[in-house]
């Protein structure tokens, strides 16, 4: 038997070690074979595999994985801050003479982020903070999010709602991608979006991102989401919802979000996330005072 325990970081030998997973559970199937439940280290994916197919990740492999993902994260943050700097310069150039003696303050859109994975949620909340965004997070299992979403939206009144966690195509062989039963958690994201739309029907008043790895993109959008995953049913990155939310939060309210810019700002790009025309949530205020906003 493979020397694998809950909490170990592993790769699947049959897949060439393409993804690093954490083992979250071990169970025995009906014929007595041990399987592991796996969670992607950086991809919003839950899978299972026979324990004999798994190999623990070596120190060098893990180091390279962490360095690569930190590089992707930091590069994306730099692009975000550079874009904001350019946009602020443009605003300053267009200011009237009477307003140039005062400083503006920023009022970006506020985020409520419901995530089925606590580790991913903490990673996302840290990134929101690095981008100077107001965000509240709650770790709620995907199947339970629809039960709490209305109450939480009413409590926090966010401009942007993120509904995410894990998802995956399930079952073997050729799958009908239009059958909701072939997705692990897409039905729960769809139900949560529908519940949120009962509270706020307008896609401009409440902007919603929903989905995770391989989610049923078209059905989630049809339920009322502005942005969703995954158009080509690929694995999406843990930070994809964050960078989509940031683009909406910092697009001025008198403009629609540039869909191309928003999607390319994500880690996985257009194969992983997509959406519909959406009005931005960013407001400038005047004047900036020493007492805060």
pLDDT tens for residues 149-167?
999 999 999 999 999 999 9
Domain boundary among 75, 91, 121: 75
| Whether residue 186 sits in one domain with residue 116 | yes
Q: Do 2 and 139 lie in a common domain?
A: no
Which residues, at least 6 apart from 224, have a Cβ–Cβ distance to it below 8 Å? 193, 194, 196, 197, 201, 203, 208
What is the pLDDT at residue 100? 67
* Residue 176 domain-assigned (yes or no): yes
Is 118 found in the same domain as 253? yes
Do 224 and 139 share a structural domain? yes
CATH code, domain with 53: 2.30.30.60
Task: Give 139's strand partners.
Answer: 115
Which residue among 41, 57, 75 closes a domain? 75
Separation of alpha carbons 107 and 53, rounded Å: 50
Residues 43 and 158 in one domain: no
- In terms of residue numbers, what domain contains 155? 101-285
Residue 47 resides in a domain: yes
Question: What is the CATH number for 280?
Answer: 3.40.50.2300
Q: Is residue 68 domain-resident?
A: yes
Same-domain check for residues 155 and 191? yes
Distance of CA 187 to the CA centre of its chain: 17
Pick from 181, 184, 203, 183: nearest CA to 193: 203
pLDDT tens profile 207-248: 999 999 999 999 999 999 999 999 999 999 999 999 999 999
Q: Is residue 26 part of a domain?
A: yes
Looking at 75, 93, 117, the residue that finishes a domain is 75
**pLDDT tens across 174-194, in order?**
788 999 999 999 999 999 999
pLDDT at 2: 61
Distance CA 240, CA 261 (A): 13
Give the distance from CA 40 to its chain's centroid.
14
Residue with tokens 């694995």: 235
Given this model, what pLDDT does residue 99 score? 60
Tally the domains of the chain. Answer: 2
Dihedral, CA of residue 198, residue 202, residue 206 and residue 212, to nearest 10: 70
Is residue 290 situated within a structural domain?
no
Please say if the pLDDT value at position 1 is more than 50: no
| Residue 95 within a domain | no
Residues 110, 67 within the same domain? no
Domain-located, residue 265: yes
Report the mean per-residue pLDDT for the chain: 90
Is 88 within the bounds of a domain?
Answer: no
**Entry pTM:** 0.87
Strand extents, DSSP E, 165-290: 207-210, 227-228, 274-275, 283-285
């Amino acid at each position: 038997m493979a020397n694998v325990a809950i909490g170990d970081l592993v790769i699947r030998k049959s897949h060439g070690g393409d993804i690093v997973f954490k083992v979250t559970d071990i169970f025995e199937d009906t014929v007595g074979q041990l399987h592991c439940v796996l969670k992607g280290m950086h991809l919003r994916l839950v899978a299972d595999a026979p324990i004999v197919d798994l190999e623990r990740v070596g120190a060098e492999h893990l180091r390279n994985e962490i360095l690569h993902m930190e590089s992707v994260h930091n590069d994306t943050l730099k692009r975000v801050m550079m874009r904001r700097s350019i946009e602020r310069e443009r605003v300053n150039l267009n200011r009237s003479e009477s307003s140039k003696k005062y400083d503006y303050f920023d009022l970006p859109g506020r985020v409520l982020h419901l995530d089925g994975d606590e580790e991913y949620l903490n990673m996302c909340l840290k990134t929101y903070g690095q981008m100077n965004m107001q965000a509240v997070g709650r770790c709620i299992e995907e199947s339970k999010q629809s039960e709490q979403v209305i109450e939480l939206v009413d409590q926090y009144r966010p401009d942007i709602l993120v509904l995410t966690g894990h998802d995956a195509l399930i079952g073997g062989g050729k799958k009908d991608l239009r059958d909701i039963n072939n997705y692990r958690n897409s039905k729960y994201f769809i139900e949560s979006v529908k519940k949120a739309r009962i509270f706020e029907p307008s896609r401009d008043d409440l902007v919603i991102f929903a989905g995770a790895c391989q989610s049923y993109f078209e059905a989630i959008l049809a339920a009322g989401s502005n942005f969703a995953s995954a158009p080509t049913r690929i694995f999406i990155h843990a930070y994809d919802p964050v960078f989509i939310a940031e683009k909406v939060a910092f697009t001025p309210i008198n403009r629609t979000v540039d869909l191309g810019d928003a999607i390319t700002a994500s880690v996985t790009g257009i194969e992983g996330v997509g959406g519909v025309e959406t009005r931005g949530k960013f407001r400038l205020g005047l004047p900036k005072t020493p007492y805060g906003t």
